[in-house]
Amino acid sequence: MDLQYKLRLPTASEALPGRDREMPVPAQHFVNGNRLDGPFPPRMERMMVGMGCFWGAERMFWQTPGVHVTAVGYAAGITPNPIYEEVCSGLTGHNEVVLAVFDPGAVTYASLLKVFWEGHDPTQGMRQGNDLGTQYRSGIYVFDSAQEQLAEQSRDAYQRALDAAGYGPVTTEIEPAPPFYYAEAYHQQYLAKVPHGYCGLGGTGISCDVRPLATLEGIGG
């Protein structure tokens, strides 16, 4: 595949057509046994993020207390119901994302944003470490205006910390949550099934202070 399709998002005319059939989803989370595709308990809220290869990113969130269930999938692209090979081609526009369903009484959205920012390098554009391509871009996909406000304020705060450490500008996209397409069963909780499997994520080592967001935590997840 031409490198151009790894480094820029495709147009609608370039995107693969996809399919109507949804990906079969395992009934249960491999680690905690909770239902993978819902319905979820009514008190739960959702977070969707992209931060590089979704194997390692998902593990960060299922290990976070207060997270009810996690799943990996594809989002923020054009092609409906894509498969992994299509996403890797660069011709779907999708990002590899993690969906985390969490109990806001046990963990705040701001705290999960801290996991997100510190878990990868959000300044790398269409790549993360050695992983090159549009599906590895940094993104936060928000479910309401409160999440959007928290995401933007945390981004600005982290940018200041990165500036002080000599990093470049944050390239993270913050957008309304698009459709989430579950990835293939073998991708779900991959690093629990293959504990020594590949994980290309590496943070900057710079702490993200979410304490200034405390006054906003009552307005969103």
- Cβ burial, residue 169 (10 Å; 0-12/13-18/19+): exposed
- Judge contact between 45 and 115, C-beta under 8 A: no
- Confirm whether 53 is a catalytic residue: yes
The total of other beta-carbon atoms located within 10 Å of residue 213's CB is 21
Residue 69 CA from chain centroid, whole number: 14
* Pairing relationship of beta strands 95-102 and 131-132 according to DSSP bridges: unpaired
- How far is CA 166 from each of CA 129, 160, 203, rounded to the nearest angstrom? 18, 10, 14
- Cα(137)–Cα(218) distance, integer angstroms: 29
- Cα(160)–Cα(165) distance, integer angstroms: 9
Active-site positions read: 53
